[in-house]
Amino acid sequence: MKLKFERVSEEIMAQVAQPYPQHPHSGVNRPNPLGPFNPERKHSEAERWICIYPAYLNSNKTRQEGRLLPKDKCVPNPSYLEIRDVLMAAGYQPIVENKQYPRERSREVEFRGRIRVQLRNDDGTPHLPQFPTRESIMVHLGEMIPKLKSRQSKPGGQESQAANPGASGGGGGGGKKNKKKK
């Protein structure tokens, strides 16, 4: 009876000791599954990269809801795509993951997304010298997201219509005209 148990436990231990299996979408820009923190991993491995959720930069959220920066350095409702675009323009190669911020109440698609960014090189120096810390990257995001073309075209068109709703020429409610019968 003992021999059978030992043989089974050796097989299980051999399976557990195997490295992570290759992901079926290995060509996709996505890290392998994370294991427990290992300080021997290099900074260039995606598991050691910093995570940025859109909630960190959302001026509509409170600190308790996950905002990390002061409101004057944040933007209203940033998306993971905007964060990715700004980081790529800055010279990073970010990874987009389909994850949701744990404090996010809404399960809708526009609130999903997590960005992974390499903060340091293997020798410990900043990956990009102008961004030595996580906070410096997030401040840069807060400054650059409002300058994106997609952000500049949206508020301008909405404000002009909101200020003068009758100017669009639609006429509003329409309705029946009072025509006199002959």
Tell whether 127 is covered by a domain: yes
Percent with pLDDT over 90 in the chain: 39
Residue range of the domain that includes 110:
50-151
Residue of 129, 136, 115, 118 whose CA lies nearest to 73: 136
**Within-domain flag for 174:** no
Q: What 8-state DSSP symbol labels residue 170?
A: -
Q: How many domains does one find in the chain?
A: 1
Which tokens hold the place of 54? Answer: 């859109």
pLDDT along the chain (182 residues), means of 10: 52 50 48 65 83 93 93 94 93 91 85 89 89 93 92 58 48 61 64
Q: Is residue 122 part of a domain?
A: yes
CATH number at residue 54: 3.30.56.30
Tokens of 57: 């930069």
Q: What integer pLDDT is reported at residue 76 of this predicted model?
A: 94
Residue 169 forms part of a structural domain: no
Which of 136, 141, 82 is CA-nearest to residue 113?
82
Tell me if 130 is assigned to some domain: yes
pLDDT in the model for residue 124? 85
Output the pTM of the full model: 0.64
Q: Chain centroid to CA 107: how far?
A: 14
Residue at 77: amino acid letter: N
* Tokens coding 11: 């097989």
**Quick check: is 165 in a domain?**
no
- Side chain identity at residue 167, one-letter code: A
- Judge whether 129 lies within some domain: yes
pLDDT at 26: 44
Asked if the structure places residue 73 within a domain, the reply is yes
